A = this chain, B = another copy of it.
Amino acid sequence: MSKRSGILEFAVLGLLRESPMHGYELRKRLNTSLGVFRAFSYGSLYPCLKTLVAQGWLIEETAPDSDSPATPLAGRRAKIVYRLTAAGKEHFEELLAHSGPDAWEDEHFAARFAFFGQTSKDVRMRVLEGRRSRLEERLEKMRASLARTRERLDDYTLELQRHGMESVEREVRWLNELIETERAGRTDNRPGTGRADNDNNQENGGRPESRGTA
């Protein structure tokens, strides 16, 4: 119960894991750094934060720097800063490792991928492979549907489907490359299976070996 917003909740926990923040900043990071995949409004963010606090995963810190003007640069004059609790951290790890049936959908996957820098290698592999097989299912359905309906569709509809399939195929190739790169990486990544006692595991710097952005 109180199943507040899968993706938003996940993204908030993930961002707060890196460092405490207040709502406003959180929303900006959601929509810029991580925002490639989705934009959220205050109308969803603030209620979500409340339930996360109620759940014990976050604590509000009203940041009473009332008498410490020592570092005025850190924040203008701290509003409500949210910090991840130990329980929240654990919960986030669970969400990361969780392999529900919807975990491989577009937005869920993108959100998980965005936090790969904080994810252990075995989980990364599971996510990438899960996503890939999800896409392959999708491809098969598309192919089947296409074979069934064939000639009944006009050329534009056909072209639309062709382009859609090509996009999916392209993502599969992308995943293949990522998976291979992961495989080629150091195999010693084991920061505690199930318990991330090591907190951050960037032993390889989280490098997907991007091949020439330009």
Contacts and interface: CB of A to CB of B under 8 A. Distances in A.
A165 to B, nearest CB: 8
Query: In the complex this chain forms, how many copies of it are found?
Result: 2
A208 B157 CA distance: 10
A142 B213 CA distance: 14
A155 B210 contact: yes
Contacts of A32: 145, 148-149
A50 interface: no
Contacts of A159: 178, 208, 210
A210 B162 CA distance: 9
| Listed residue (A37, A162, A163, A164) with the most chain B CB atoms within 10 angstroms of its CB | A163
Interface of A: 32-37, 110, 113-117, 142, 145, 148-149, 152-164, 167, 170, 174, 178, 202, 205-208, 210, 213
